Amino acid sequence: MRGLCLMKRTADIVRKVCWIVGSLYALVGIATPSLANGARPSWLQECRLPGFKDPTLCGHHSVFENRSEKGRRIELKVVVVPAKSPNPAPDPVFLITGGPGQAATDLARFANRSPLGSQRDIVLIDQRGTRGSNPLICDLPDSDRNLQSYFEDVFEVSTFSRCRDALADRADVRYYTTIQAIQDLDEVREALQYRQVNLLGWSYGTRVALQYAQAYPERVRTLILNGTVPVNFRNPLPHARSAQQSIDAIFAACAQDTACNKAFPNLNQKFQQVLARLNQAAAGTIVRHPVSGEPENVLITKPTFVEALRMSSYHYDQIPLIPKLINDAYQGNFALLAEIIMKRNRSRAKFPWGMLLAVTCSEDVSRIADDEVESATANTALGDYRIRRQMKVCSVWPKTTLPDSYTHTVALPVPALILSGIQDPVTPTEWGEEVRKILPNSLHIVVPGGHIVGGGCLTSVQQAFLEAQTVDQLDISCTRSVKLLDFAVLD
C-alpha cells in the first residue's frame, strides 16, 4: 500500500513538473512579438494574419481628418511585421505603396517574406482613404450582368458625382491628399517611438516618401524609390507619352530577340494598322462569362485596347505577352486580350477611386493647363482620351488648395537608391534621373522591366544598401544579368 502511495505521489509530482514545463513552452510559443526598439503602444496588439507562421502586430491609430479644425477622427490601419533577427536594427522600413489608392497592409505577406525584414521591422500603414483607413470606395456601374461594363472607361462624370455625394457624410475628401498622408506617417512613427526610419516607396509612394523627406529630413535614414514620381509630376498628363515610350521599348526588345522577331515581324506596323481599324469601328469578340461560363459578345474600342496594353506593360510577367496580343489583334483575334481585360477590371470596383481623385484632382490635374494637353499627347497611341476624361471628372470633385511650397524641393543629403525599369509605362527612367538631381548621395539603377522592378538581384542590392547606409562602393554587378522574361511566341 505504501508503495502504491509513493508511486501516486511521484506521478503527481511528474504531472506537476510536466504542466509547469509545458506552460513555460506555451508561454514562449505565444509570446507577443515586440518592436525592434522594445516599445509598443496599447493600440498595437498581437494578431495572426492568413499565411503567417508567426504572430505579428496589428492596430488602428486615430488621427484628425482635418488637423486645423480638429473635429472628426479617422482610424489608420497599421501592421508591423517584426524583424526576424533576435538583435534587430532600431530603424524600421516603412513601405509606402502606390496608386494612389493601394493599401499597404495588402502587402503584409510580401513584408513577411522579404529579406529586408531580416534585420528590421517593416511597418505598413494604410494611407487615409485606402482599404483599412476610411476607404473612399465609389459605386461603379460594373456588373457580371453586363460584361460590356468591364470594357468601358471608369472615368464618367455621373459616376463620380454620385460618389462625391455618397462620401460626403463620412469624409471630407479635400483632406485625403499627400500633405495629410505624410503627417499621418509621422504621427505613427512617433507613436511607435522610432527615432529614424527607412522609407521604401513604390510608384506614387515615392512621392509620399520624397514629400516626407522634405518635411522631416532628420527622421529619414535612407530612401529607396522604385518607379519614381517627381513631386512636380502632373498625373495623368504624361501617361500617353510614357506609355508610347514603353511600347516602343517593347517593340525594340522584340526586334532584337530572334524568336520574337521571327514570330512577330514588323510589329509596329501591325500595331498602327490595328489602331487605324479601331479608329473606324470597335472590334467584336467573345468572352466566357466568369460565373456561368457561357459565351458573350463584347466590343473593344481603341482606348480600351491601348489602355489594356499600357496596364499589361506595368507587369514584369505580362510584358512578354504584349507582342502576341498585338499580333493576335492584327489577325482579328481579341479573345486573349478580352480575357485579360475582364479579369483585371472585375476587381476595380474594390479600388478606392475616391482616394485617387482626392490626390490627383488637387495635386495634379489642378496644375494642368488645357492648352498643354495637345502637345503632351501628340503622336501617341493613347492620345488625349485619358487626360480629357479625368479632367472632366476632376471638374466636379472637391479639391484642396495646395501651399505655394508644394512643388518646391531642396537638395536632400539622405542616402538614396533609385530603381527604374526600361519598359516602365508610367514612371520612365528620366524621372529617376530628375529626382537624382535633388539627392546628391544617390545611385540610380536602370534595368529591363516594367513598373516597380524587383527580383533576387535588386533585393540583395537594397538589403546591402540598408546595411551600409551609403551607395558608395555598393556592389551592383548582378544588375548586368537582369533581363526580360522570354517573349511568348506560341499559343
**In sequence order, what are the residues at sequence separation of 6 or more whose Cβ sits closer than 8 angstroms to the Cβ of residue 45?**
32, 57, 58, 59
Provide the mean pLDDT of the chain: 93
Q: Hey, which residues does 442 pair with through a beta bridge? A: 416
How many helices, marked H, and strands, marked E, lie in the chain? 16, 11
Three cell numbers written together for 105: 497592409
CATH number attached to the domain at 44-136+171-231+409-481: 3.40.50.1820
Three cell numbers written together for 463: 538589403
Which tens digit of pLDDT belongs to each residue from 181-221?
999 999 999 999 999 999 999 999 999 999 999 999 999 99
* pLDDT, position 348: 97
What's the average model confidence in pLDDT over 355-362?
A: 98
DSSP per-residue codes, 56-90: EEEEEEEEEEETTTEEEEEEEEEEEE--SSSS--S
Q: How far apart, in whole angstroms, are the C-alpha atoms of residue 370 and residue 358?
A: 20
Neighbour tally for 167: CB within 10 Å: 22
Q: How far apart, in whole angstroms, are the C-alpha atoms of residue 103 and residue 114?
A: 18
**Residue recorded with cell 479608329:** 279
Q: Which of 203, 218, 172, 196 is nearest to 66 (CA)?
A: 172
Q: Which of 90, 77, 76, 96 is nearest to 121 (CA)?
A: 90
Three cell numbers written together for 420: 527604374
Q: Which of 75, 29, 62, 187 is nearest to 123 (CA)?
A: 187
DSSP 205: H
Residue at 208: amino acid letter: V
Q: Interhelix angle for 267-280 vs 322-330, to 10°?
A: 50
Q: Is residue 187 within 8 Å of 216, Cβ to Cβ?
A: no
pLDDT(7) > 60? no
Which tens digit of pLDDT belongs to each residue from 423-473?
999 999 999 999 999 999 999 999 999 999 999 999 999 999 999 999 999
pLDDT(402) > 80? yes
DSSP 485: P
Residue 98: which H helix or E strand, with range?
none
Residue that wins the pLDDT comparison between 285 and 50: 285
Residue 5 pLDDT class (50, 70, 90 cuts): very low
Residue 404 pLDDT class (50, 70, 90 cuts): confident
pLDDT(391) > 80? yes
* pLDDT, position 405: 86
What's the average model confidence in pLDDT over 13-31?
A: 38
Q: Which of 427, 439, 66, 60 is nearest to 243 (CA)?
A: 427
Residue that wins the pLDDT comparison between 420 and 20: 420
* pLDDT, position 2: 40
Cα-only R_g, the chain: 26
Residue that wins the pLDDT comparison between 347 and 25: 347
Query: Structural domain boundaries of the chain?
Result: 1-31, 44-136+171-231+409-481, 140-170+237-404
- Please report, for residues 56, 122, 206, 303, 355, the alpha-carbon distance to residue 183 in angstroms, rounded to integers and kept in the order given: 25, 19, 15, 38, 16
* pLDDT, position 299: 98
Cα angle vertex 322, ends 320, 323, to 5°? 95
Q: How far apart, in whole angstroms, are the C-alpha atoms of residue 233 and residue 45?
A: 38
% of the chain beyond a pLDDT of 70: 93
Q: How far apart, in whole angstroms, are the C-alpha atoms of residue 120 and residue 216?
A: 21
Q: Hey, which residues does 75 pair with through a beta bridge? A: 62
Residue 18 pLDDT class (50, 70, 90 cuts): very low
Three cell numbers written together for 304: 480600351
Residue that wins the pLDDT comparison between 80 and 14: 80
Would you call the peptide bond into 352 cis, given omega within 30 degrees of 0 as the criterion?
no
Residue 394: which H helix or E strand, with range?
helix 385-394
Residue 11 pLDDT class (50, 70, 90 cuts): very low
% of the chain beyond a pLDDT of 90: 89
Q: Is residue 306 within 8 Å of 272, Cβ to Cβ?
A: no
* pLDDT, position 31: 58
Residue 34 pLDDT class (50, 70, 90 cuts): confident
Q: Which of 370, 429, 416 is nearest to 395 (CA)?
A: 370
Report, in this order, helix, strand and coil percent for the chain, each rounded to 5: 45, 15, 40
